[in-house]
Chains A and B, each alone.
Chain A
Amino acid sequence: MEKVEKIEMDDSIKQELEEDVMEEIQESQESATESAEKTNEASEVREEKRGFTRETYEKHERNEEKRDDAVRKGKEIVLPGDSIVESIDYLPGRNCYRDGNSIYSKRLGVVYYRGHVIDVVPLSGKYMPEPDDMVIGKVAEVQYSGWIIDINSPYKAFLPLSGVRGFIEPSRTDISKIYGVGELIYARVSEVTPMKDIRISMKDPSTRKFENGRIIRISPVKVPRVIGKQGSMINLIKDKTGCRISVGQNGVIWIQGEKEHLAAKAITEIEENSHIQGLTDHIGKLLNQETFKQESDRRE
């Protein structure tokens, strides 16, 4: 869900940027020399570090944004140790680190700018739990005071009795009747400590236990692709196949319905071709074709 928000934000930045570029073009038409002077001025000011006039500051911002966009649009991937920016005006966000004046990438990924914070969105890797993520987990062990859940990450999660709806008296109930070993649940990550003790909770109304259906696993970094912008992709699959689908941030996906295999096929297709443009349309076509094929088979 977080990823979706990010994409939204980027669009708004893009719009702003387009406006800025338009302004810039007008400006440059008015007087080329003037703007050249301004650029010099801006760089001088940057050397002095502070003491911007409003005008130069805006110019500076605009230059920065233009470069940001170049990185974002260039589909340029960064490798571990690649320098992203050489400036103290930025802060290292996710998956990058500062060394001296520069910010470097920690991982193989794509650079995103969140204002003055730089994130590297990874292209591969394991799922690392973060608070408020929705995950699908399998009960690995039942203990006296709760359950240990495998959430497809290097760390097992703990679901305490207090994380379950209603009051349970552990001495009088067999808690394996609530969630038994091997059962699948849709839960919310409630706490992640620096020591990576993970707690999850089933109190949220959207959490539940899965009784039937099937599970497929994809790379966790591809989850935003499967969901799509504002859930466009997942809604498309739900509409076309009539399946119920839950996507865990940890890359585990639950599908239940008559056309489970079709939904599973679409999701695998997304995972394999996550880089192509117009993916939603492509998947839409694929689903239409398959549905048509099946119907004609049935008629025969």
Chain B
Amino acid sequence: MYKRTDGRKNDETRPIKMKVGVLKHADGSALVSIGKTMALAAVYGPRELNPRHMQESDRAIVQCNYTMAPFSTKERVRPGPSRRSTEISKVTREALEPALFLRDFPKTTIDVYIVILQANAGTRTAGINAASLALADAGIQMRDLVTSIAAGKIEGHYMLDLNGDEEEETDCDLPIAYMPREKKFTLIQMDGNITKDDMKQVIKTAVKGCETLYEHQRKALREKWSKEGFE
């Protein structure tokens, strides 16, 4: 059996911490840390969209902004948009959109801001998890929570939730976003080379991880809101 650098089992995630409602000013917010990766998400909206030509008359639009804090890696990350952050903003938006009832609020925007405070592989997946929690916290109409995690294959073993060191060794790095109740994928990306059968196995591993994350997400939301039950 391949020994993982941090002694985890192959299908085990890194330690997960989730907290909902960390920012007072945002309509919804969440902080998610998976191992050494930490993502903060804030959601505003639905709110009026300006400029007006961007409005869709029959549905809301989602604007997603993924950034890495300058101090998030060992080498300073140059602030501002980059090719990478633009791409991740786009795939994050597309991973979240299917879960939202956008037609419930035409002409508006839902703004999602994701900041990676600390990066050690799996930043986009941590970002999606945090954003999904923040959306639920903001009281936005959703079909399901979106969970996201990556998996890969190292020396013939399928590995869940690769960390920074493993990411360099793996044959492929395959992040997915998944709606556990709906059983639908909203994101599948892949880096590297892999056979079709292996890919199926890797996705299966990742789906299992998503189900664990789903429980964590639900727990985090309940933690904040259960006392609000009501009189």
Residue ranges of A at the interface with B (Cβ–Cβ < 8 Å): 75-77, 79-81, 83, 95, 97, 104, 106-110, 122-126, 128, 154-156, 194-196, 221, 274-277, 279
Q: How far is the CA of A125 from the CA of B44 in the complex (A)?
A: 10
Q: Is B105 touching A79 in the complex (CB atoms < 8 A)?
A: no
Q: How many residues of B contact A (CB 8 A)?
A: 37
- Within the complex, what minimum Cβ distance (angstroms) separates A127 from chain B? 11
Q: How far is the CA of A184 from the CA of B52 in the complex (A)?
A: 26
Q: Of the listed stretches B10-18, B72-80, B132-140, name the one at the interface; the rest are far from the partner chain.
A: B132-140
- Within the complex, what minimum Cβ distance (angstroms) separates A92 from chain B? 12
- Within the complex, what minimum Cβ distance (angstroms) separates A84 from chain B? 12
Top 7 nearest A-B pairs (CB, nearest first) are A125-B139, A75-B229, A81-B144, A124-B139, A80-B142, A106-B141, A154-B108
Q: Is A107 touching B47 in the complex (CB atoms < 8 A)?
A: no
Inter-chain contacts of B108 with A (CB < 8 A): 154-155
- Within the complex, what minimum Cβ distance (angstroms) separates A98 from chain B? 12
- Please list 12 pairs of residues, one from A and one from B, whose beta carbons are closer than 8 Å in the complex, sorted by A's number: A76-B229, A77-B229, A81-B179, A83-B181, A106-B142, A110-B229, A123-B139, A154-B45, A154-B47, A195-B58, A274-B228, A276-B231
Q: Is B107 touching A155 in the complex (CB atoms < 8 A)?
A: yes
B101 CB within 8 Å of chain A: yes
Q: Is A196 touching B145 in the complex (CB atoms < 8 A)?
A: no
Residue ranges of B at the interface with A (Cβ–Cβ < 8 Å): 27-28, 45-48, 57-58, 99, 101, 105-108, 136-145, 179, 181-182, 218, 221-222, 225-231
- Within the complex, what minimum Cβ distance (angstroms) separates B105 from chain A? 6
Q: Is A108 touching B48 in the complex (CB atoms < 8 A)?
A: no
Chain B, residue nearest A83 (CB): B181
Q: Is B46 touching A154 in the complex (CB atoms < 8 A)?
A: yes
* A-B contact number at CB 8 A: 101
Q: Which listed residue (B27, B47, B136, B179) contacts A108, Cβ 8 A?
A: B136
Chain A, residue nearest B28 (CB): A124
Q: Which of B45, B139, B143 has the most CB of A within 10 A?
A: B139
- Within the complex, what minimum Cβ distance (angstroms) separates B165 from chain A? 35
Q: Is B229 touching A80 in the complex (CB atoms < 8 A)?
A: no
Inter-chain contacts of A104 with B (CB < 8 A): 143, 181
Q: Is B139 touching A156 in the complex (CB atoms < 8 A)?
A: no
Q: Is B137 touching A108 in the complex (CB atoms < 8 A)?
A: yes
Given contacts A75-B229, A77-B225, A124-B28, contact A221 B47 (CB under 8 A): no
Q: Which listed residue (A106, A123, A279) contacts B228, Cβ 8 A?
A: A123
Q: How far is the CA of A80 from the CA of B218 in the complex (A)?
A: 10
- Within the complex, what minimum Cβ distance (angstroms) separates B137 from chain A? 7
Q: Is A126 touching B142 in the complex (CB atoms < 8 A)?
A: no
Q: How far is the CA of A75 from the CA of B231 in the complex (A)?
A: 8
Q: How far is the CA of A195 from the CA of B47 in the complex (A)?
A: 15
Q: How far is the CA of A156 from the CA of B182 in the complex (A)?
A: 35
Q: How far is the CA of A30 from the CA of B184 in the complex (A)?
A: 52
Q: How far is the CA of A108 from the CA of B20 in the complex (A)?
A: 13
- Within the complex, what minimum Cβ distance (angstroms) separates A171 from chain B? 28
Q: How far is the CA of A239 from the CA of B105 in the complex (A)?
A: 39
Q: Is B45 touching A75 in the complex (CB atoms < 8 A)?
A: no
- Within the complex, what minimum Cβ distance (angstroms) separates A16 from chain B? 20
Q: Is A77 touching B222 in the complex (CB atoms < 8 A)?
A: yes
A79-B222, A80-B145, A274-B230 are known contacts; what are 9 more A-B pairs with Cβ within 8 Å?
A80-B143, A80-B144, A81-B179, A154-B45, A154-B46, A154-B48, A156-B48, A195-B57, A275-B231
- Within the complex, what minimum Cβ distance (angstroms) separates A111 from chain B? 11
Inter-chain contacts of B136 with A (CB < 8 A): 79-80, 107-108
Q: How far is the CA of A104 from the CA of B181 in the complex (A)?
A: 10
Q: How far is the CA of A125 from the CA of B108 in the complex (A)?
A: 14
Q: Is A107 touching B106 in the complex (CB atoms < 8 A)?
A: no
- Within the complex, what minimum Cβ distance (angstroms) separates B129 from chain A? 14
Q: How far is the CA of A80 from the CA of B180 in the complex (A)?
A: 12
Q: Is B140 touching A107 in the complex (CB atoms < 8 A)?
A: yes
Given contacts A80-B143, A155-B48, contact A275 B182 (CB under 8 A): no
